[in-house]
Structure 1
Amino acid sequence: MKIIKVLIVLVILAVIGITFWTYRSLNGPQAHNKSDQFITIPPGSSPNQVIAKLTSEGVLSSEIPLKVYLKVNGGATEIQAGEYQFKSPITPLEVLAELKNGKLRTVRLTVPEGFTRFDIAKRIAKQFPQDQTGSEDAVLELMKDVSVIKDIAPQAKNLEGYMYPNTYDLSRSVTTPAIIEKMVVEFKKHWKPEFADQAAKLNLTPHQVITIASLIETESRFDDERSIVASVIYNRLKKGMPLGIDQTAVYIAKMEGRWDGVINRSDLESNSPYNTRKVVGLPPGPISSVSESSIKAALYPATTNYIYYVLNVDKNDKSHKFYATEAEFERGKAAYQAWLAKQRR
């Protein structure tokens, strides 16, 4: 009987000791040397695999306390894959809380309004070099897959104009096709169902509307001015005048891989169908990414008799002055050229 009592006492003491040790271990901060590094927990990892990995990395001093805690309290299924940066020191319970919240290390990709597919491809290739499809040419090749926009623009030859300008927080492991798809999905959020109806009222296809919107996007940075720029484009189209938008020359140079940051005479004299100085009508497709503001301007242009515009030197803020006659335009252009010459002195 005495032996049984002693054994019971020993068991009780052992349970108390283990409980105390487990409690202390779970709540005791553990210092480690990985606080400046990201530790990746792959998808599909079991709780035991996660605990073993963190123990081998030194974030946990022992596997047992956290395994016991999960066995008694549950919560193993709440552990999420991700990329974690654990502070030091940190307790096992704090580690578990982090694992339940789930963390993904992201890369921020910013696509400004007016970026071309060439600009976007260059930025993707630079920011996601770990992707095997991440070379600039490979990204451009992926942008030729227009199946994702066939419901909007079945005649499109590439995704120019259909990748929405925005800031995207993306996983470091994201693939280039997924990035492109995300930008197209974002575009579709901004292309409202009623826009197609309005395009039809203008006797335009959605692709033509996006093309006009891209011209507007490259010409004006001000939302309240874009509908006026749109009116100039429509007025010139009605009169059979070349649109004369120099950004199409920039686009030609980028397509031909010779853009050096300056519009050269050869760019303006190109026989490309995108050259709006020589070819009457719209270019074959968009020349840049477009914002919803520019799409709306293309769909709902202001009613004016303007057919010219020049940068407003009085404001010097990249806004424009608009003109209905060539004589007015020539005076405005002369004032702009005089201002420009003065800036170069």
Structure 2
Amino acid sequence: MKVFKLIAVFLILVIIAFSYWIYRSLNTPQAHNNNNQYIQIPRGSSPGQILNKLADEGIISSQIPLKVYLKIKGTGNKMQAGEYQFDSPITPLEVLSELNKGKLRTVKFTIPEGFTRFDIAKRINEQFPQNQPAGENPALKLMNDISLIKDIAPEAKNLEGYMYPNTYNLPRTVATQTIINEMVQEFKKVWKPEYAARALKLKMTPHQIITIASLIETESRFDDERPIVASVIYNRLNKGMPLGIDQTVVYIAKMENRWDGIINKSDLESNSPYNTRRFVGLPPGPISSVSDNSIKAALYPATTNYLYYVLNVEKNDKSHKFYATAAEFERGKAAYQAWLKKERH
């Protein structure tokens, strides 16, 4: 009888000691050498696999305390995949708290106003190279899928103009398709139902409005000037004059993968329907991403008789001077060319 009592007392002492060890282990901060590193927990990892990973990386010294804790609490399924950076020292319970949050390391992905789909695809490849097949950039091919915008612009041939320029915080492992989807969804937040109604009043399709907005975007950086640029575009369209916007020629060179930063004479003579130097009317589609301000300028152009504009050399801030006649424009162009020649020397 005494033997059984002694065994019982011994077992109770063992349980108390073990419980105390578990408690202390769970609440004692432990130092490790990976506080500046991200520990990736893959999606679909089991609690056992997660604890193995943490032990291998030195974040926890023993798996037993957490295994016991998770068994008692039944909360192992709350641990989430993600990329974690653990402080040092840190207690196992604090580690578990972090794992329950599901953290993803994000990348700040910025698309400036006026970026083309070629520029966007290049930036995706630069910032998310680990997500692209070796030697390939699938982004451009994915941008040919117009199913994302068929409700707005069924006649579009690609997503040019419909990927909204903005700064996005994206998971490092994000898929290229997800990046494109997010940019298109951001555009759809900007494109309001009243914009479509206004386009109809102007006897324009939404696709034509976005095309005009892209021309405005590439021509002017000033919000107060954009409605005036829009008026020049509409005035030229109404008179059957070529728009003569050089950025359409730049876009052709980018489409043909030969843009080197300089517009050549051969570029100006291109037979592409995007060449607004040669062909009357709008190009087949947008030539860049567009901001809300450029869309508004395309929808609500200023009322002017201007047909021309040239850079304002007096301000030298990339703003423009506007002209109603060819004679005025030629004088303004001559002043600009004289200034340009002086600057080059």
TM-score by length of 2: 0.94
Q: Secondary structure at the match of 1:321?
A: strand
Aligned to 1:143: 143
> How many angstroms does 1:208 deviate by?
0.5
Q: Relative to 1, partners in 2 of residues 1:151 and 1:325: Cα closer, same or farther, differing over 3 Å?
A: same
Aligned residue number for residue 329 of structure 1: 329
1:30-67 Cα shifts (integer Å, max 9, x gaps): 22233333222122222222112211222111111112
Moved more, 89-98 or 65-74: 65-74
In structure 1, the partner of 2:164 is: 164
Q: Deviations over 1:218-244 (max 9, x none)?
A: 001111211111111001111111111
Q: What secondary structure sits across from 1:223 in the alignment?
A: coil
**Cα deviation, residue 137, structure 1:** 5.2
The equivalences for 1:176-187 within 5 A come to 176-187=176-187
2:318 aligned residue: 318
CA distance in structure 2 between the aligned counterparts of 1:94 and 1:147, rounded to whole angstroms: 45
Report the secondary structure of 2:244's partner residue.
Answer: coil
Corresponding residue number in structure 1 for 2:288: 288
Partner amino acid, structure 2, of 1:117: R
Displacement of 1:194 after TM fit? 1.2
Contact map agreement 1:134 1:176 (CA 8 A) in 2: no
Distance 2:284 2:101 in 1: 49
Tell me the CA shift for residue 136 of structure 1.
Answer: 5.6
2:18 and 2:138 map into 1 onto residues whose CA distance is: 59
Q: How far apart in 2 are the matches of 1:245 and 1:132? A: 35
Do residues 94 (structure 1) and 94 (structure 2) align? yes
Match of 2:108 in 1: 108
2:230 corresponds in structure 1 to 230
Alignment partner of 1:217 is 2:217: yes
| Counterpart AA for 1:87 | D
Higher mean displacement: 163-172 or 282-291: 163-172
| CA 1:309–1:135: 2 relative to 1, 3 Å | farther
Amino acid at match of 1:153: A
Aligned-residue offset at 1:10: 2.5
* Cα distance in 2 between the residues matched to 1:132 and 1:317: 39
1:47-58 superposed matches below 5 A: 47-58=47-58
Alignment check: 8 A CA contact 2:109 2:167 kept = yes
Q: Is contact 2:199–2:209 with CA below 8 Å preserved after alignment?
A: yes
Q: How far apart are the structure 1 equivalents of 2:264 and 2:317?
A: 25
> What is the count of residue pairs matched by the alignment?
345
Q: Is the 8 A contact 1:164 1:186 kept in 2?
A: yes
1:74: how far off?
A: 4.3
Q: Is the 8 A contact 2:117 2:288 kept in 1?
A: yes
Q: What is the CA–CA distance in structure 2 between the aligned matches of 1:137 and 1:38, rounded to whole Å?
A: 26
Residues 132, 138 of structure 2: 8 Å contact kept? no
Most deviating of 204-213 and 94-103 = 94-103
**SS of aligned partner of 1:230:** helix
Identical-residue share of aligned pairs (%):
74
Structure 2 unmatched runs, 5+: none
Q: For residues 227 and 36 of structure 1, what CA distance do their matches in structure 2 show? A: 50
Residue equivalent to 2:245? 245
What is the SS of the residue equivalent to 1:107? strand
3-state SS in 2 of match to 1:224: coil
**Structure 1 Cα separation of the partners of residues 151 and 48 of structure 2:** 47
1:134 positional shift: 7.4
In structure 1, list runs of 5 or more residues that go unmatched.
none
Amino acid at match of 1:124: I
User: Residue 249 of structure 1: CA displacement?
Assistant: 0.8
Which amino acid is the alignment partner of residue 37 of structure 1? Answer: Q
**Contact 1:128–1:134 under 8 Å retained in 2:** no
Instruction: Indicate the SS of the match to 2:15.
Output: helix
RMSD: 1.7
Q: Distance in 2 between matches of 1:337 and 1:68?
A: 80
Amino acid at match of 2:270: S
From the superposition, tell whether residues 135 and 161 of structure 1 become closer, same or farther in structure 2 (CA, over 3 Å).
farther
Question: SS of the counterpart of 1:101?
Answer: coil
- In the TM superposition, what whole-angstrom CA distance separates every residue of 1:286-324 from its partner, at most 9, and x where no partner exists? 000111111111111111111111112222221112122
Q: Which residue of 2 aligns with 1:29?
A: 29
Aligned 8 A contact 2:38 2:85 in 1: yes
| Alignment match, 2:19 | 19
The structural deviation recorded for 1:122 is 1.2
CA contact (8 A) 1:118 1:254 kept: yes
Cα distance between partner residues in 2 of 1:2 and 1:256 = 94
Counterpart mapping for 1:51-90 below 5 A: 51-90=51-90
Matched, 1:341 2:341: yes
Q: Would the alpha carbon gap of residues 136 and 275 (structure 1) be closer, same or farther in structure 2, given more than 3 Å must change?
A: farther
SS of structure 2 residue aligned to 1:169: strand
Deviation at 1:8, TM superposition (A): 4.1
